[in-house]
Each structure stands twice: as C-alpha cells, then as structure tokens.
Structure 1
Amino acid sequence: MVQSINKIAKYSDADLDKFAEQLKTDGICIIPQLFERKLINEWAEAFANLFRERQNQPGGLAPREVSRYYLTLPWVAPFADVSVFANPVIMSILKRVFWQEYVLVQLGADVPFQGSDYQETHRDFRPLFCDQIVTPLYALAVNFPLVEVTADNGPFQMARGTHVLPREEGLKKIASGEIPMESFYMQPGDVIVRSPLALHRGSPNRTSQPRPMIVMGYAMHWLHTPKVDLTVPRDYYESLPIDIRQMLRCEVVEQLPKEKMETYVNFKY
C-alpha cells in the first residue's frame, strides 16, 4: 500500500472536491498519473498473456462489435491489487458522490484491435426510472489504459453532461454539435472516473497494436448487476480487511476455474 499512501498525498481535499464536482456536472473526471508506470507495465505484460489464453477458449472473449473484445480479469496477481481497486484517491472521490454504501462489481478490460470501428453512441445503464427524471450517480466506471491512448489507437469518446439529459435530447445535441463528442487521450497511469449514463462510444483503433483499457465498476449496494461478476479465491478474500471484503460483491470459491465463459455481451442502452 506504500504507493497508494504516497499518491493520495498529491491531492488535497480541494483537489478531491474538484474531481467529485466534475463528476457530478460533466459525468467524468480525469486523475492524472495516479498509478506508477511499473504497476502499469506489470499489468500490461500479464494482460497480454491472459488475452492469448482467452483467445483459445470457447467463449473466453465477449465480442464488442468488429475487432473489439471484452474480458473479465481473474482475481490473481497482478490484477488482485488492493492498491488499485481500493485506491484511496478513487475511494475518496466515490465517497463524495455515493451517499450510501457501494460495492465493486466488475473488473475487466475493453480491447479494440486494428479493424475496429466507431461504436454506436450508447449508455452502459438505463436510468433508474425514466429519462424525464434525472438519475443521481448510482454507478460509476473507473478506467485506466495499459498503453498510451492516442488519436490513432481508439480513444474513449464521451459527450460531457449527457448523463443528466434524456437520451434523445443528448443525441440531438451531439448531432447538432451543441455538445461535442470528446476524445480522451491518456498516458499510462492516468485514470478516468465516469458515469455510465453519459453518452459515449469506442472509436477505431487504426494501429497494429491492441489498446487495452481496464474497467472497474462500482455501484450502490442495492443495484442488481447480473451481467458482470467477480470470483475471488477464499484464501485471498479472507486475507482482506473486513471493510474491503464488504466492498466486494463476489462469489468466494476454493479455487478459480481454469476457463472463463464471458456473459457480458449486451452492453448498450
């Protein structure tokens, strides 16, 4: 946890308040250089090996349209890292916008390859009730890339402020240019926290290298999230402090399964 303790010292309460306010108003905030490059390199190497394994397993990858895939990360090193999924900076922001207990429900990755295209502009969740009632922040996605994200390799694109608009109104404002669809370029170590209700899309990766983007999903404790799942080995789970255990919505198993069948296929609203 040394890295996390050092990193939170970079940000004052005023900084954290600003991140939280941006999240409420824009539906997104960017935390620069939260994670060390060494950590990102370790994840990138492990992820490359994992992806090759999953490619050879039936159902090991969930399709995300052409040449784009999603996969759940196994709860093993280096991915099972308290300094990442319970990072104090991220937790401090979440506590400022979630007014009840929240849980981690998702740890996965989105990977566009060469040949991918623009996704249909979409949301990841439906509103709680209807478009005419503004939905508070009840779920958040935390993203960080394992490579530099440039204009050429498929940057995440989002229209700020559309998380509080009816879907059709947001789409009209994007189409007219009133609200731009913004590309988010990132360095390894940068982190985005965003509302899944904000209208967004993936863009084409025109390079020969994949662009893996990690996603950690957090949600209010009462939200039903059947499309994503966490499976955690019992020995690791029982080694965690009680407050961290309570934050994980997971299945605790004696041993992780050798193969993973991805079920998170429908993802657009």
Structure 2
Amino acid sequence: MAGRGETAVAPLTDDELIAAKEQIYADGIVGFKGAFSRDWVRRLGEDVDIAFDEARARPGGAVGRGPQRYYVEIHPEQLRGFADLAGHPWITAVAEAVLGPEYEIVEVGFDVPGPGAEYQPWHRDFPMPVETRSERRLTSLAINVTTVDTTDEMGPFEIAPGTQWDDSDEFEHGMFPPKEHYDRYRDLAVRKYPQMGDISIRSALTIHRGTENRSQSSRPVLVLGLDAPGAGNAERHDLAVTTGYWDRLPQGIRDHLHCPIVDELTPINQKHTIEGLVMGEAEG
C-alpha cells in the first residue's frame, strides 16, 4: 500500500527477487536503497524517540544490549507508518520468497546505540533452529530501517557475510562464538552505512555486532521480525493491537499479523534479552 510520505517504488522483477533471495542465502543480508522517503523516515524517527522516552521511564521498558545500547519492543500502532512498512512491496516479496506466503509478523522494536556505546561481542540473535542446521533452510528474517544517516563515528552495524550457517558446540547459549573465532569474523566483516530511506533484510543468525559509537548522536534502527510458520520466535515477543486499529489495517497485513486483539494496549516488559550483551565488551 502507498502511505503518506512513502516512496513510490516499482515491484521487484522476477530476476531481482531471485537475486535478493540468493544473496540472503549466500551472505545473510541484502540491502535496498530508497525504499522510503526521507519525510517518512523522519516521522518514524519521531515515533521511535517518543517510544524510547516512554520505555526508559518505566521498569522493564528497555533492555540493555551493552553500555549505552538499548532494545525496546513496541506495539505496531505506536508507529504511524507500520502499515507502510509491513506492506512495502519489496519486503513482502522477499518475505514470501524466503519464508513462504504464510509468513508471520512477530516483532516490532528498535535498537538505540547511543554516544559511548562500545563494541558488542560477535553474536547471532538466537540459537540456530533445527531446520537451518539439518535442511539449510532459513525460517526467519529481520528487516532493519535506520532513522538517521549512518556515519562511521556512529558505530555502524558490522556483519560477517555467510556466517548464518556457522554451527559449533562452542557457541555459548548457541549464540556467542568463542573469542578464538573472532579473527575470522573480523576478516569477513563488512560495515553497513545505510541512509534515511534505505532498508536491509537479513537473517539474524548471521554473525554480527554493533561497533563503537564515537559520535554525540544516537543511531536508532527499527526492527521488523518475520517468521516462517512454526518457527517459534513469536514466543519471545508480546505484540498486540487494539480492535479499532485492527479494523483499519489492510487485509494483506492482517493475514500475517497473528497477535492478540485487545481493547487496550499494555506496555511491553522486555523479555527478548540476549544473553551476554548486557555486559558488552570493549573489543575492537
């Protein structure tokens, strides 16, 4: 659907969609330039700032992901542009190609690395599912939308392409590779510098980390989490929508939003804590 301020984009061609899926399977991430207008992203940034202030003002509203680094999960209707995001033709096409036509929206949240945020340990966001290990099949995707123009001083996201398939009993909690593996990840690492309007679609299994924010600015990034049917990540999240909001959503989005419909929203107490990241590591 076309929302207020959304960049009008042509659907992906068959060749572009095949290439995007192949890149996700090869590298663990694919990027798209100019998915949204800068005006749309400015409104997104305003909504994220409001939600961040609210979350930090109450116990359990924000979870630490290392020094000066936070994660907040929110409800869809806290974003004026949620329907634009969830219904964006590039996102829906890639989601269907990778996860199948019955994919589910399981997470809406954002990361905020503030000034002084340090290097995170290399990690993936949850243990490898059995389907990925045994069938080399990806069962979830994360869509990232920056609310600012990323610079090197802001501590950009760093990812090691191809490592979504790394499987080792040495991974602590199934997510944290031992430091003996760090040289390989540093050799593979690519830093990402998205600008307002750009998006990325990635497997959260791909080994990654946030880097040191040496600037005086925060670098908020919205996260939309998608699952294939039965992947189970919804258990880590608490999405809900009110009846009135549900009635206003396009049917194409409601088909993928399997969450409680309530009379009144309850603020989310964060439970998607990634073991170890609350400590952080100043490792360059």
Once residues 267 and 232 of structure 1 are traced to their aligned partners in structure 2, the CA distance between those partners, rounded to angstroms, is 29
- 1:132/1:215 Cα in 2 relative to 1: closer, same or farther (>3 Å)? closer
Matched position secondary structure for 2:153: coil
In the alignment, which of 232, 244, 258 is matched to residue 249 of structure 1?
258
Q: Which residue identity is paired with 2:232?
A: H
1:71-110 maps to which residues of 2 (within 5 A)? 71-76=72-77, 78-79=79-80, 81-99=82-100, 101-110=102-111
Q: Deviations over 1:120-153 (max 9, x none)?
A: 1111122223986453110110001000111111
Aligned equivalent of 2:125 = 124
Aligned equivalent of 1:213 = 221
TM-score normalized by structure 2?
0.85
Once residues 133 and 103 of structure 2 are traced to their aligned partners in structure 1, the CA distance between those partners, rounded to angstroms, is 25
TM-score normalized by structure 1?
0.89
1:45-84 maps to which residues of 2 (within 5 A)? 45-76=46-77, 78-79=79-80, 81-84=82-85
Once residues 13 and 213 of structure 1 are traced to their aligned partners in structure 2, the CA distance between those partners, rounded to angstroms, is 29
Q: Which residue identity is paired with 2:221?
A: M
Pairwise CA distance, 1:202: 1.0
Aligned equivalent of 1:181 = 189
Aligned equivalent of 1:154 = 155
Once residues 120 and 178 of structure 1 are traced to their aligned partners in structure 2, the CA distance between those partners, rounded to angstroms, is 12
- Do 1:231 and 1:253's aligned partners in 2 also have CA atoms closer than 8 Å? yes
Q: Which residue identity is paired with 1:7?
A: V
Q: Which residue identity is paired with 1:8?
A: A
Aligned equivalent of 1:8 = 10
Matched position secondary structure for 2:219: coil
- Do 2:154 and 2:214's aligned partners in 1 also have CA atoms closer than 8 Å? yes
Matched position secondary structure for 1:247: coil
Pairwise CA distance, 1:231: 1.2
Q: Deviations over 1:54-90 (max 9, x none)?
A: 2211111111111100011233253452121121111
Matched position secondary structure for 1:149: coil
Matched position secondary structure for 2:236: coil
Pairwise CA distance, 1:267: 5.5
Matched position secondary structure for 2:15: helix
Aligned equivalent of 2:174 = none
Pairwise CA distance, 1:36: 0.9
- Do 2:131 and 2:137's aligned partners in 1 also have CA atoms closer than 8 Å? no
Aligned residues: 267
Matched position secondary structure for 1:76: helix
- Do 2:156 and 2:210's aligned partners in 1 also have CA atoms closer than 8 Å? yes
Q: Which residue identity is paired with 1:70?
A: Y
Once residues 268 and 246 of structure 1 are traced to their aligned partners in structure 2, the CA distance between those partners, rounded to angstroms, is 35
Q: Deviations over 1:161-191 (max 9, x none)?
A: 1112324698766514685111111101110
1:216-227 maps to which residues of 2 (within 5 A)? 216-225=224-233, 226-227=235-236
In the alignment, which of 254, 270, 274 is matched to residue 266 of structure 1?
274
Once residues 178 and 59 of structure 1 are traced to their aligned partners in structure 2, the CA distance between those partners, rounded to angstroms, is 33
1:189-204 maps to which residues of 2 (within 5 A)? 189-204=197-212
Aligned equivalent of 2:137 = 136
Aligned equivalent of 1:113 = 114
Pairwise CA distance, 1:203: 1.0
Pairwise CA distance, 1:254: 0.7
Pairwise CA distance, 1:260: 3.1
Identity of aligned residues (%): 29
Once residues 268 and 218 of structure 1 are traced to their aligned partners in structure 2, the CA distance between those partners, rounded to angstroms, is 24
Once residues 236 and 213 of structure 1 are traced to their aligned partners in structure 2, the CA distance between those partners, rounded to angstroms, is 24
